[in-house]
A and B are shown apart, each in its own frame.
Chain A
Amino acid sequence: GIQVEQSPPDLILQEGANSTLRCNFSDSVNNLQWFHQNPWGQLINLFYIPSGTKQNGRLSATTVATERYSLLYISSSQTTDSGVYFCAVTMTTDSWGKFQFGAGTQVVVTP
C-alpha cells in the first residue's frame, strides 16, 4: 500500500492566499524533508523536519511524528511559490538512507 501520501494532489491559489499541504506516512520515520521542485525541475530544500516545528520566512512546517504526519504552511503566497511540493521520508522499518517520496502537491499561484 501507499506509504507516503500527500494531499491535496493539486492546489490553485490566488496571490496572497494561505495554504496547508499535508504528508501522511505509514510508519515511524528517521528523516523527513520537504522540497519544492521549481518549473525548471530543480529540487530546492525547504525543511529537514523529522519532528517539531520550523519556520523560514513565509513558510513553516510541523511534523507530529507520533501521529505520522507533517504539514507545510505557505502564507501570503506568491507566483514564485508555484511548482510541486514533495515530502520524503525514511522509515524506521527500512534502511536509514532509503528515502521514499510522496507523489507531490502541484501548486499554481495566480496573480
Chain B
Amino acid sequence: GAGVSQSPSNKVTEKGKDVELRCDPISGHTALYWYRQSLGQGLEFLIYFQGNSAPDKSGLPSDRFSAERTGGSVSTLTIQRTQQEDSAVYLCASSLWGLVSYNEQFFGPGTRLTVL
C-alpha cells in the first residue's frame, strides 16, 4: 500500500479482555516497529522485527503483551487480560532496512485503545 495502515482505528474493551491490534507495513519494508503513546506523552518503544532475525522485545512492559509478524509483512500486537493502564494510542512504523546506514521510519495513524 501507499503507507502504513493500522486497524482498528479505535478499540474500546473491558478490563480483563484480550485485544489484537493489526499493522500492515509499507510494501517492501523489512523492519516493523510497535510503540505506545499515553495521553500527552512521548512514544515508548515496545518491539521491533527485522527480516528473519529474532525480534527485539526489550520494550514490552509485561508478559501480557506479545507480538508476531507473519510472512515478513503483517504484524499483530496482542494484549491479554487488559488493564486500565493499557489505555493509550498504539503506533506502528516500518522502515526499509538494508541500505547501509539508513533506517528511516514511517508511521501509521495508530490505534486508540480504551480499557474500561
Contact = CB atoms under 8 A, between A and B. Distances in A.
A30 B91 contact: no
A48 B104 contact: yes
A97 B56 contact: yes
Interface residues of B, number: 27
Contact of A97 (B41, B102, B103): B103
Interface of A: 30-31, 33, 35, 41-43, 45, 48, 50, 86, 88, 90, 95-104
Interface of B: 31, 33, 35, 41-45, 48, 50, 56, 58-59, 89, 91, 93, 95, 97, 101-107, 109-110
21 contacts: A30-B101, A31-B104, A33-B105, A41-B89, A42-B109, A43-B91, A45-B104, A45-B105, A50-B101, A90-B103, A95-B58, A96-B50, A97-B48, A97-B103, A98-B58, A98-B59, A99-B45, A101-B35, A101-B42, A101-B44, A103-B42
The 6 closest A-B pairs by CB, nearest first: A43-B107, A48-B104, A97-B48, A101-B43, A101-B42, A103-B42
